[in-house]
A = this chain, B = another copy of it.
């Protein structure tokens, strides 16, 4: 716990010189002594006050934009354009929630007149929430990302465990929040920023009595560990883990040449942009056997000119390379990779070609490969596709490219059983922050199919209801 750790600079392929130090052990005692009072104080704000607080937070974040941009790009290796998009999305999400909670129905009442009883049901914060920063969205799914914003909007205190590889970005964003709390004369324990490069603080806080829910974006292994910890507590708590997904894309038969080319171009970008480090990256593309070769050629042609980018850190890179090799070496899989000369942790895209009967024999190919990689798989019939959907686990998305006005109803019916979002004639990347968004899906895409991690409805993860029954 005492040793410092460093972040990585993916573009330069070097470790940063600055040391970050894990939050010291005594922080836990301070937090335990203060969290109940902090939660009371913060929950006592009216929705309008919370909305104003969130708006002030957005202002303070905007003021630090340039310094955040610098360290964000340094630590993540992501581009300026990507920073701009992610920063704007984060800023917009704060404002969206500030607006949403002002119109939210925090209380409904009714009266049984003949019995002279008044009932009112109030929506209340669940309590303090533990949020784990993700690796692939240093802003939008991290320190002041969707989980934190939804929790704060609900009236919950937050403990944010920073992703160690974005310790600098996270600390800067945390300072914006601390500053806003100070302006509002609110307890600094309304938002606690903890740092380490191990599982220590995550597992410690996951088991703390005052923590009432956990938000997580990351691997199935990480998410499941938290779910198991939370379920084993004397008082189990809900975990909202948004985990891995294969995001199958089905291309219906009989696409004309132009359409197939367009689809290939869209998918190439979805696979390759930011080194494919998205939970919604399409990982499996199903093409009818007669068009499979043609589609693969178009996809490879679309990928060829795309400039390589580095991955987020050496560990993700190593895992990507290992998983890619694992699938490539499977029986019945043909390998194509980017042939460019690449250095450091710049990602080498890969496309594996196979057919459905072979795919079904390789369980590891049905698990996410995080990075710029996809399987192009040929199918013979609708029946074959149905067999596949039947054995696939939960998915964040399923996409269908089709010429028909209505996609095949059997496919749709199966798709809506296993996926949280179904995309018709579009790619799964680029999740919109909307009231109609559902970002989640059956396990293992997420820990609970009933909740979205994106959009205003995500506040429901962190609220509870209490009935007040008054006999007049």
A318 at the interface (CB under 8 A from B): no
**What is the CA–CA distance of A375 and B437 in the complex, to the nearest angstrom?**
50
- Shortest Cβ gap from A2 to chain B (Å): 35
| A449-B434 CB under 8 A given contacts A235-B394, A236-B443 | no
Q: Is the CB of B422 within 8 A of A466?
A: yes
**Given A424-B468, A425-B470, A469-B426, residue A450 in contact with residue B231 (CB < 8 A):** no
* B residues in contact with A119, CB < 8 Å: 432, 434, 436-437
Residues of A357-373 at the interface with B, using a CB-CB cut-off of 8 Å, are: none
Q: Does A423 contact B (CB under 8 A)?
A: yes
The size bracket of the interface on A is 35 or more
* Chain A 117-131 per-residue mask, 1 if CB under 8 angstroms from chain B, else 0: 101111010110000
A382-400 CB mask vs B (1 if < 8 Å, else 0) is: 0000000000011000000
- Asked if A231 and B238 make an inter-chain contact with CB atoms under 8 angstroms apart, the answer reads no
A340 within 8 A of B: no
**CB-contacts of A385-434 with B (<8 A):** 393-394, 413, 416-417, 419-426, 432, 434
A469 and B394 in contact, given A121-B436, A235-B444 (Cβ under 8 angstroms): no
**Complex-state Cα separation, A112 to B437, whole angstroms:** 12
Q: Which of A104-163 contact B (CB under 8 A)?
A: 108-110, 112, 117, 119-122, 124, 126-127
CB pair A442–B109 under 8 Å, yes or no, is no
Most chain B CB atoms below 10 A, which of A393, A417, A432, A437: A417
Instruction: Provide the bound-state CA to CA distance between A452 and B460, in Å.
Output: 14
Give chain B nearest CB distance to A308 CB in angstroms: 28
Q: In this assembly, does A293 line the interface, its C-beta being within 8 Å of a C-beta of chain B? A: no
Q: With A and B bound together, what is the CA distance between A121 and B439 in angstroms?
A: 11
Interface residues of A in 438-461 (CB under 8 A from B): 438-439, 442-444, 447-450, 452, 457, 460
- Any chain B CB within 8 A of the CB of A465? yes
Q: Determine which residue in A426, A464, A469 has the highest number of CB atoms from chain B within 10 A of its CB, and name it.
A: A469
Q: Is A471's beta carbon under 8 Å from chain B? A: yes
A294 within 8 A of B: no
**Cα–Cα distance between A434 and B416 once the two chains are bound (Å):** 31
Majority SS of interface residues in chain A? Answer: mixed
Chain B residues with CB under 8 A of A467: 420-422, 436-439
Question: Would you call B126 and A471 a contact (CB within 8 A)?
Answer: no
Q: How far is the CA of A235 from the CA of B424 in the complex (A)?
A: 27
Knowing A227-B236, A235-B442 touch, does A452 contact B436 (C-beta < 8 A)?
no
Query: Is B457 a contact of A465 with CB atoms below 8 Å?
Result: yes
Q: Which residue of B112, B127, B449 is within 8 Å of A417 (Cβ)?
A: B127
A463 at the interface (CB under 8 A from B): yes
Q: Which of B413, B426, B432, B466 contacts A471 (CB 8 A)?
A: B426
In the bound assembly, the distance between CA atoms of A361 and B472 in angstroms comes to 36
Residue in B closest to A266 when the chains form the complex, CB atoms: B471
| The residue from B426, B443, B444, B466 contacting A416, defined by CB atoms under 8 A apart | B466
Closest Cβ neighbor of A428 among chain B residues: B469
Cβ–Cβ contact B436 & A124, under 8 A: no
A75–B92 CA distance with the chains assembled, in angstroms: 60
Asked if A469 contacts B420 (CB within 8 A), the reply is: no
A16 at the interface (CB under 8 A from B): no
Give CA–CA (A450, B212) in the complex, Å. Answer: 11
Pick the residue among B393, B443, B471 that contacts A423 (CB under 8 A): B471
12 A–B contacts from the bound complex (CB under 8 Å): A119-B434, A119-B437, A124-B416, A126-B450, A227-B231, A231-B232, A235-B393, A237-B443, A420-B465, A425-B470, A426-B471, A450-B465
- 8 new A-B pairs (CB below 8 Å) besides A235-B393, A425-B471? A119-B437, A121-B436, A416-B466, A421-B469, A424-B470, A424-B471, A439-B467, A450-B463
Give the 10 A-B residue pairs with the shortest CB-CB distance, closest first: A231-B231, A438-B467, A426-B471, A119-B436, A235-B443, A421-B467, A121-B436, A425-B471, A449-B464, A424-B470
